[in-house]
């Protein structure tokens, strides 16, 4: 018995399957083309001029350095959850992406802390690389679960993350640092994660987790831009320190979502 075909001759399920993949890839291509047409995006001239330069216990820029400790705590907790979930086959699709996300959170604690001790471009690469990797990790986890693609998605987004920072480093060494690929890797999860979850009908609870995490990340970026203004009006805290705290909360929310998924998988 033959399978009923659509007017074009394709099986009825083929078109929805293709459209599920077409939309996210179309977004990726459109954003990439838009950035390409925009031309090189340079790092702000006074990027390393952070508002809070106070030292504490011999640690320069102490608030910006020490506020990174939260990333290590959240990343360690997340990696522990990943290790405890290894026997849960229902989490196989998302486990590699989450593992990369949590590992990158721990790297962020060290990389960002190292950078903020003596902020300059030579150390900035160790701050940006973990951030790019954690963006790649969470996007690949959601991508694989919602679209059903294989491990190549993890490899692709991780490679793009490393390449984006490498591109900035190489172009900066030539006197014209270009942030476009790095900004692309950072922006894609903010756009694609809600889109993929909406198209897939992801449970409302999980979508709210990610919406809260994205909201905290947006607040973190706003605090970064208003670094000096916030420091002038908020006692003891600069905008950049607050950025770190909002980012830690965003990472914790994602971690709590994985903890909830693990509890669901553990149920008989």
Residues across the chain? 268
pLDDT digits (tens, 9 = 90+) for 130-180: 999 999 999 999 999 999 888 999 999 999 999 999 999 999 998 889 999
Tell how far CA 81 is from the center of its chain.
Answer: 19
The answer to whether the beta carbons of residues 61 and 226 sit under 8 Å apart is no
pTM of the model: 0.91
Residue ranges and CATH numbers for the domains of the chain are 56-266 (1.20.1070.10)
Q: Is the dihedral of CA 96, 98, 103, 107 positive or negative?
A: positive
pLDDT digits (tens, 9 = 90+) for 90-135: 999 999 999 999 999 999 999 999 999 999 999 999 999 999 999 9
Contacts (Cβ under 8 Å, ≥6 apart) of 138? 97, 98, 101, 189, 193, 254
pLDDT digits (tens, 9 = 90+) for 154-168: 999 999 999 999 999
């Amino acid at each position: 018995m033959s399978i009923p075909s659509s007017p074009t001759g394709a099986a009825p399920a083929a078109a929805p399957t293709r459209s599920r993949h077409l939309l996210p890839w179309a977004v990726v291509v459109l954003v990439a083309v838009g950035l390409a047409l925009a031309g090189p995006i340079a790092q702000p001239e006074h990027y390393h001029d952070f508002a809070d330069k106070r030292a504490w216990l011999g640690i320069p820029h102490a608030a910006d350095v020490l506020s990174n400790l939260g990333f290590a705590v959240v990343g360690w907790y997340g990696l522990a959850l990943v290790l405890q979930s290894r026997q849960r086959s229902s989490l196989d699709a998302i486990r590699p992406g989450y593992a990369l996300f949590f590992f990158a959170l721990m790297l962020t604690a060290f990389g960002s802390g190292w950078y903020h001790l003596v902020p300059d471009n030579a150390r900035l690469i160790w701050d940006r690389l973990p951030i790019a990797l954690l963006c790649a990790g969470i996007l690949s986890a959601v991508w694989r679960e919602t679209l059903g693609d294989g491990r190549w998605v993890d490899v692709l987004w991780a490679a793009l993350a490393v390449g984006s920072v490498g591109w900035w480093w190489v172009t900066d060494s030539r006197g014209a640092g270009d942030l476009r690929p790095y900004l692309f890797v950072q922006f894609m999860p903010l756009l694609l994660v809600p889109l993929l979850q909406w198209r897939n009908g992801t449970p409302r609870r999980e979508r709210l987790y990610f919406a809260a995490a994205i909201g905290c990340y947006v607040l973190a970026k706003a605090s970064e831009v208003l670094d000096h203004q916030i420091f002038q009006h908020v006692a003891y805290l600069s905008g950049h320190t607050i950025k770190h705290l909002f980012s830690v909360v965003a990472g914790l929310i994602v971690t709590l979502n994985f903890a909830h998924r693990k509890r669901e998988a553990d149920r008989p």
